[in-house]
Structure 1
Amino acid sequence: MTAAVLTGAGFGTPLSWQTETAHRLPYGYTQYADLTMRAPDANVPVMLLEVDRVTEPVDVLVAKVRRYTEWFELLAPKADKDKAHAARRQGVAVHDFRLWSRIYPATGREGYVPVAFVFTGKTKAQRASRMRRLEQAARPYFAGTKYAGGDITAVDYHRAVPVVVTELERITADPAGAAGRVWRRLGRDEDEWQTLSEALANPDGDQLHAVQSRESHRRQKEREAAAREAQRPLCARCGTEVHRRTLAVDPAVQLAR
């Protein structure tokens, strides 16, 4: 039913779906995705979905996010470990060395392949409680890290798993279905329901970082200019500021000093 309602909303075709996609980890565990969706025409090249009937402990859901993160961080065969380590601070370049980029298409956004939890069953309050607990416990995997700089608030999401949640009941009740504002990105306003494209976007990520970096650079140049102005010497005769060029060419000024 989850695949059907998303397909009906324009997310791919019946052939866009794969069930029980295996993600094998080095220590012998295989994390299976309930559904894998490929809908490039809807601006979602790939997304992994977990359908939850509110029956398993929240810890199980958190473990799924953790294992997906571990799999996304696996190096591709023959990848240069030193270059891969250096790329950890080079934004999107880090993914060139990862196994996942050999299997899935580029997401078109910062971060790993997004993971969606579709909740259904029990009561609305129970589903809401489950989302809150998942959000609190899985935060290290989806929150990203703040870019360096005291006046920078942008977040680096390149090594984070974008996690979105929805409810099958919410989707079926919305006139627009899964294309409506029925998705929420974990780590954002709890009451902010968005379209899937909006939820997967990173308005506080690289785009904000570029703006804030330019502004920070501008303010730094202004501070440096102010510092140079404050250090400009004064004329011993009249007390006015002397330009450094004047000091270099006017012996009278040098003598006065």
Structure 2
Amino acid sequence: MSEVGELAREHWRGEWNADHAPEGERPDGYRDYEGRVPLLATTLHRLAGHGPHGPVWWRYGHTSWQTLGDALGNPDDFSAYSVRDQARRKAREDELEHARREREEERRRLEAGKWVCPTCRRYVYPGDGLTSGGDAPA
């Protein structure tokens, strides 16, 4: 089985396409299986033990025995990559939204704690000891 897989590698192995990950993130990508043929193998012993619907199929390029449906699937194709990419985008958006909410909460906290300096009539915010934000209303 190994020899058959190696001899036919160019016909079943998809072409790797990597993305350009932002700094600090792990690169990701997908395999393009256009024009490729999934190559499956099994043994009579496995077929007799599990039947054709059990985890008896070995797809070259995969890492375990699988059911026929799983073996014919491509867990590293563009569709799978797209799902991972969408999850990464959602996580980044959630992080940005969380940071925005924290900034807004900090702004509200500062606004709630501001006071007017009796000497210069400017707003003073908690913790900075500096005048900022302009003149207080007269």
Aligned to 2:39, the other structure's residue is in SS state: strand
The structure with the largest alpha-carbon Rg is 2
2:34 matched residue in structure 1: 159
Aligned to 1:159, the other structure's residue is in SS state: coil
- Percent sequence identity over aligned pairs: 20
Establish whether residue 174 from structure 1 lines up as the match of residue 54 from structure 2. Answer: no
Q: How many angstroms apart in 1 are the aligned matches of 2:93 and 2:127?
A: 24
Matches within 5 A, 1:29-68: none
Structure 1, unmatched stretches of 5+, are 1-127, 242-251
RMSD, matched Cα: 4.3
What are the Cα deviations for residues 227-252 of structure 1, in whole angstroms up to 9, with x where unaligned? 7939x8888722579xxxxxxxxxx8
Cα pair distance change 1:173/1:224, threshold 3 Å? closer
Q: For residue 129 of structure 1, report the CA deviation from its aligned partner.
A: 3.7
Cα pair distance change 1:202/1:188, threshold 3 Å? same
Q: For residue 199 of structure 1, report the CA deviation from its aligned partner.
A: 0.8
Q: For residue 166 of structure 1, report the CA deviation from its aligned partner.
A: 1.6
Cα pair distance change 1:239/1:214, threshold 3 Å? farther
Cα pair distance change 1:227/1:133, threshold 3 Å? same
Aligned positions, number = 112
Q: How many angstroms apart in 1 are the aligned matches of 2:124 and 2:91?
A: 35
2:7 matched residue in structure 1: 134
Structure 2, unmatched stretches of 5+, are 115-122
Kept in 1, the 8 Å contact 2:12–2:39? The answer is no
1:112 matched residue in structure 2: none
Aligned to 1:187, the other structure's residue is in SS state: coil
Cα pair distance change 1:222/1:140, threshold 3 Å? farther
Q: How many angstroms apart in 1 are the aligned matches of 2:37 and 2:27?
A: 21
Q: 1:215 aligns with which of 87, 95, 102?
A: 87
Q: How many angstroms apart in 1 are the aligned matches of 2:40 and 2:57?
A: 6
2:75 matched residue in structure 1: 203
What are the Cα deviations for residues 119-141 of structure 1, in whole angstroms up to 9, with x where unaligned? xxxxxxxxx34145337xx2586
* Runs of 4+ displaced beyond 6 Å: 232-236
Kept in 2, the 8 Å contact 1:152–1:212? The answer is no
Kept in 2, the 8 Å contact 1:184–1:193? The answer is yes
Q: For residue 203 of structure 1, report the CA deviation from its aligned partner.
A: 3.0
**Counterpart amino acid of residue 199 in structure 1:** A
Q: How many angstroms apart in 2 are the aligned matches of 1:239 and 1:254?
A: 15
Establish whether residue 253 from structure 1 lines up as the match of residue 133 from structure 2. Answer: yes
Q: 2:65 aligns with which of 181, 185, 193?
A: 193
Q: How many angstroms apart in 2 are the aligned matches of 1:183 and 1:161?
A: 18
